[in-house]
């Protein structure tokens, strides 16, 4: 396979010629930019500027994972998700991960390691998401955010693949985290 930098934008980048900020909210802002494409055409790009976020795949010593069940207004649905949240001002991603697990799962991890980073939806959103695996869980609680209402659901490893196939996991970060876990475990087999 030839060596190349997949992140190199030389020759394919779009140059912003006009920025138009439409909305500034608590966790996101929206812009509608005009860009010049490599072919010279002017195009419109709608961009959601979003704070960075973390997500933790909490793995128990019982060969299960802890997920949170919560109502999501935007899709009018209760979802099963890995514990996740925004990185607050002054926090690094590890501190944010530790805080969110205590708020949502009422646990802290003896072992917390970074699996990777990915864009939530790079076609229109700047959000960078850092995924962690948390092991060696022990009780440790902080109060939930006042606008959250989450409950903890424990799912055995044996049930994960069926839940994904049956469409019970519809949140992308959770789908990615559980798929990573399936791949990791099958590579060891």
146 belongs to the catalytic site: yes
DSSP assignment string, the chain: -----TT--TTT--EEEE--EEEE-SSEEEEEEEEE-TTS-EEEEEEEEE--EEEEEEE-TTSEEEEEEEEEGGGTEEEEE-EEEEPPTT--HHHHHHHHHHHHTSEEEEEEEEEEEEES-TTTB--EEEEEEEEEEEE---PPPTT---EEEEEEHHHHHHHHHTT----HHHHHHHHHHHHHHHHH-
Q: Which of 13, 135, 146, 154 is catalytic?
A: 146
Single out the residue of 174, 188, 166 nearest to residue 120, CA to CA: 174
Contact (Cβ atoms closer than 8 angstroms) between residue 70 and residue 149:
yes
| Residues labelled catalytic | 146
């Amino acid at each position: 396979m030839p060596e190349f930098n997949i992140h190199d934008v030389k020759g394919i980048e779009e140059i912003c010629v006009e920025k138009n900020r439409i909305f500034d909210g608590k966790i996101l802002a929206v812009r509608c930019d005009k860009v010049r494409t490599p072919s010279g055409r002017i195009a419109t790009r709608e961009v959601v500027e979003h704070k960075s976020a973390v997500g933790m795949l909490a793995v128990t010593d019982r060969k299960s994972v802890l997920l949170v069940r919560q109502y999501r207004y935007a899709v009018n649905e209760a979802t099963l998700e890995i514990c996740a949240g925004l990185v607050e001002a002054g926090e690094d991603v590890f501190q944010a991960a530790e805080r969110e697990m205590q708020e949502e799962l009422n646990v802290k991890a003896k072992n917390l390691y970074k699996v990777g980073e990915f864009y939530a939806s790079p076609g229109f959103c700047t959000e960078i998401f850092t995924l962690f695996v948390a092991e060696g869980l022990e009780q440790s609680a902080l109060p939930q955010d006042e606008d959250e209402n989450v409950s903890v659901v424990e799912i055995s490893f044996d049930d994960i693949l069926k839940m994904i196939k049956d469409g019970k996991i519809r949140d992308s970060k959770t789908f990615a985290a559980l798929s990573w876990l399936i791949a990791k475990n099958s590579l060891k087999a």
